[in-house]
């Protein structure tokens, strides 16, 4: 079974970095990189995101091997974002998408009021959205609050949501409207039309199970297709 250390080492070799070169990019010693790769210690907190950024991969893939889009490929993980206003000029390959915080979710309707948003925007390349199979008009970005999704999504992270994709695939990440509360969780279906919500920070936030009646108060806003972490 592959570990974080094994994935990290394979990724480093794939993009042709030495341990010393990687250590300089992450801001740690080469001894630390060696310890991570051997499994003696593991990166956490900001070091995890610095490592992912240096390796041009997804921290979720480093931790769990979940995101196969980054395994064995040269794809970049977007580790930063820029908020901008309506006066900013778009390039031909760019599209603006609305940015929301949890307080802007309309209670009970399960939708993000993207059409009405005149606040901050985020830039996305049309080519990137096309590659991901996401239509620009269906994209909204929302801010994650709290520590329930750490270490993958620390407090203040931003996720990109495809509001046209509400069909649950077990174990994937979704933005949901839980009785008026905006939440980002890993979602699983249960027999009898129930739903299980899982957090990455399972020690503090154990799985939540809801039967069919309770699940009626959980509406899928859309599937998370992208996220960014501010260091």
The two tokens of residue 217 are 């108060």
Q: What is the pLDDT of residue 87?
A: 55
Q: What is the pLDDT of residue 84?
A: 47
Q: Which residues have CB under 8 Å from 16's CB, separation 6+?
A: none
Give the mean pLDDT per block of 10 residues along the chain (231 residues).
86 92 94 93 80 83 63 39 53 79 45 52 80 89 85 83 94 89 92 95 92 95 83 53
> 83-228: same fold as 4-70?
no
Q: Domain-by-domain residue ranges, the chain? A: 4-70, 83-228
In this structure, how many other beta carbons lie within 10 angstroms of the beta carbon of residue 74?
9
Q: What is the pLDDT of residue 1?
A: 65
**DSSP bridge pairs for 186:** 173, 198
Q: In this predicted model, what pLDDT tens digit does every residue of 36-65 receive, in sequence order?
A: 999 898 887 678 878 988 888 877 778 777
The sheet with strand 94-100 has its strands ordered as 83-84, 121-125, 94-100, 139-143, 158-162, 218-228, 172-178, 181-190, 194-198, 208-210
Sign of CA dihedral 104, 106, 108, 112: negative
What global pTM score does this model have? 0.64
> At 37, is the secondary structure helix, strand, or coil?
helix
Distance of alpha carbon 87 from alpha carbon 64, whole angstroms: 40
Q: What is the pLDDT of residue 125?
A: 79
Q: What is the pLDDT of residue 70?
A: 42
Q: What is the pLDDT of residue 80?
A: 42
Task: Phi first, then psi: give them for residue 133, nearest 5 degrees.
Answer: 75, 30
Choices 3.30.1540.20, 3.20.20.80, 1.10.260.40, 3.90.79.10: CATH for 4-70: 1.10.260.40
What is 83-228's CATH number? 2.10.109.10
Q: What is the pLDDT of residue 88?
A: 57
């Amino acid at each position: 079974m592959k570990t974080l250390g094994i994935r990290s080492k394979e990724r480093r070799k794939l993009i042709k970095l030495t341990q010393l070169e990687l250590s300089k990019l992450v801001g740690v010693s080469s001894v630390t990189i060696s310890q991570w790769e051997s499994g003696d210690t593991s990166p956490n907190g900001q070091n995890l995101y610095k490592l992912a950024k240096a390796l041009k991969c997804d921290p979720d893939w480093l931790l769990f091997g979940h995101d196969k889009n980054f395994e064995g490929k040269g794809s970049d993980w977007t580790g930063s974002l820029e908020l901008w206003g309506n006066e900013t000029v778009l390039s031909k390959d760019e599209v603006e998408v609305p940015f929301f915080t949890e307080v802007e979710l309309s209670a009970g309707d399960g939708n993000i009021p993207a059409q009405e948003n005149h606040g901050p925007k985020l830039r996305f390349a049309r080519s990137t959205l096309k590659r991901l199979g996401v239509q620009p008009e269906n994209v909204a970005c929302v801010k994650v609050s709290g520590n329930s999704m750490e270490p993958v999504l620390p407090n203040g992270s931003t996720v990109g949501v495809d509001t046209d994709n509400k069909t649950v695939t077990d174990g994937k990440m979704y933005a949901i409207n839980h009785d008026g509360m905006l939440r980002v969780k890993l979602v699983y279906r249960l027999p009898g039309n129930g739903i299980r919500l899982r957090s990455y920070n399972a020690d503090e936030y154990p799985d939540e199970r809801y039967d069919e009646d309770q699940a009626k108060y959980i509406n899928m806003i859309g599937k998370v297709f992208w996220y960014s972490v501010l260091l």
